[in-house]
Structure 1
Amino acid sequence: MRDTAPEPALSTQLLEWYDHHARDLPWRVAPADRQAGMVPDPYRVWLSEVMLQQTTVAAVRDYFHRFTSRWPTVQALAAAEDADVMGEWAGLGYYARARNLLKCARAVSADHGGVFPLDHDALLSLPGIGPYTAAAISAIAFDAPEVVMDGNVERVMARMFDIHTPLPDAKPELKARAAELTPQDRPGDYAQAVMDLGATICSPKSPACGICPWRDPCRARAAGTAPELPKKQPKKAKPVRRGVAYLAQRADGALLLERRPDSGLLGGMLGWPGSPWAESPAADCPPFPADWQVLPGEVRHTFTHFHLILTLKTAPLPDGPAPEGLLIVKRHDFRPSDLPTVMRKAYDLWRGGAE
């Protein structure tokens, strides 16, 4: 015999709470509007879910507004210039997502008539769409009873069922528990309700158990273990890598830049020529012979798997063509916002030192 309320009762409780407390998000159709017949736009659902990976709602709002103002449909995004999209994405990090965003938009436009497919397997076949994003689109946009598992949902399930297996080992059990609770009625609203519950009440620290709609059946609340769940494996220390970035400007203001390869870290983005990033001391490999001067200070940036420390070197850029593999960008064509965050930090340090 199960010692929690039956699934229909739990999902009904949560949906009643969601109807009154749903977050107002620019990509979301409010529960009252949805029940009145308004249908979510799969493009906006997909775009928001890609942006929200490894990023907060607060960080994504402005990016989402800019993207949807500039490219209001998936067809418009598919027709966009790569550099324009990468420039708008700058600052969100995880740039492979932006490359896959374009690939996916073009696949939807070319292979599906500009319409996201209803079929879950067809969604999974699109570039950059994995199990989580496919489930989110299926549930939120198409109201299919798919199990949507993000960090908020994992936390809610770990506490609801008092599961102490550390993540990521606990993921299959957490998903199975989430599947038990997913209703056939209003599954899209339910998926968003669980995420809202985790984001606003069942928060990582100091969960507000006293106002939670699932307070009574929550096993971790009863056991007093909620604040310590979910358990996680100890994090490994990130290595530190070092490198040199070379910033050169011509007398007329033109700048020397490189376009990074499409694959790999910061793929397809503009940046400053530089040395490889390695844990050993950075090699000196300037893009052209000159009296390179070390700029005081250094750039520090953290990526997913390592910390980076960049030394900056500057020199005047001589007249003539760009060195092989690099490009010269005229001053009026250069926008610092087109640079990824680490390269923009280098630019800001350089310009600050020049003032």
Structure 2
Amino acid sequence: MQHTIVMTGASRGIGRVAAEHILRRSPYVHLLVVARGSSGARLAAELGAGGHAVSHVSADLGSLQSVRSATAEICDRLDGGELPPLRGFVGNAGVQYTNALTEGPDGFESTFAVNVLANHLFVRLLQARFSTPGRIVITTSDTHFGDLKHSLGMVPGPAWKSPDVLARTGAFHKPDTAAGGRTAYSTSKLAVIYLVHEYARRLPTGIDAVAYNPGFVPGTGLARNAGPVSRFAMRRILPVLTLTPLATSRDAAGRHLADVVLGTTQAPTGSYVDRSRADRSSEESYDERREGELWEAAERFTAALPPGRAHSQMTR
């Protein structure tokens, strides 16, 4: 049956590889890519070569208003029959800044806005359009463990605080440094897992939510905001680690992401998929109090639905 999968972060890195795998392996998929500005049309044309069904919608994921506009367009196209039924959302886009002081147009710290709030807004505004079985996959990171084994000492572990603090600039120690920016990143990826656990509790039966960890993948665009030395290391030096268990190649990570999206990897709702299999995430990532607090804060920050509709459509 023809169906639609909406995907962010498909223009480069593991997302591009995953998109190609999804289209090649599932001829019934209409892939709708979300990209900034005119890049979406070019990406859709490239992915659609060979007769694949691909379209695009423009959005700046750092702007909640832009996400709302993009989602409204998607819903209109679904309702009008231009797109086949919605069966998937892949929140693969992510950012990492060289500080924790970058503020987006809505007043939120930009790492938190893109990695957490944009995904939540997509999920909430699209949830009523999902057909079952449906699957939501959001990319996280093993930096949320906060130990040497998982981050190789390159990214500080998460420093959890009240979501009202995390959502604003300057939430971490030395916020004007790269370490502050990386702490914002690892903390945002812990937040992703918390929200996935909440989605598993709250989403209607038949719509699964899964967090996907690709592992350390050198050579992607994640370090594009880093300094020249870090960018050079990510492109030219660290890729050699993919020959060891310490890192994952871009091709392998993209293939694993496609496996999760298409259901090839068995992962019940609420799962954390580490590369190619469901596994336990960090002990810190299982905290129902934090999960509930983050849910309530994300609802306030995004105002995705009027209170009455939000309560009636998704209850704990």
Same fold judged by TM-score > 0.5?
no
Higher RCO structure, 1 or 2 (CA under 8 Å, sep 6+):
2
User: Structure 1 or 2: larger helix share?
Assistant: 2
| TM-score of the aligned structures, taking structure 2 as reference length | 0.26
Larger radius of gyration: 1
| TM-score of the aligned structures, taking structure 1 as reference length | 0.24
User: Structure 1 or 2: larger strand share?
Assistant: 2
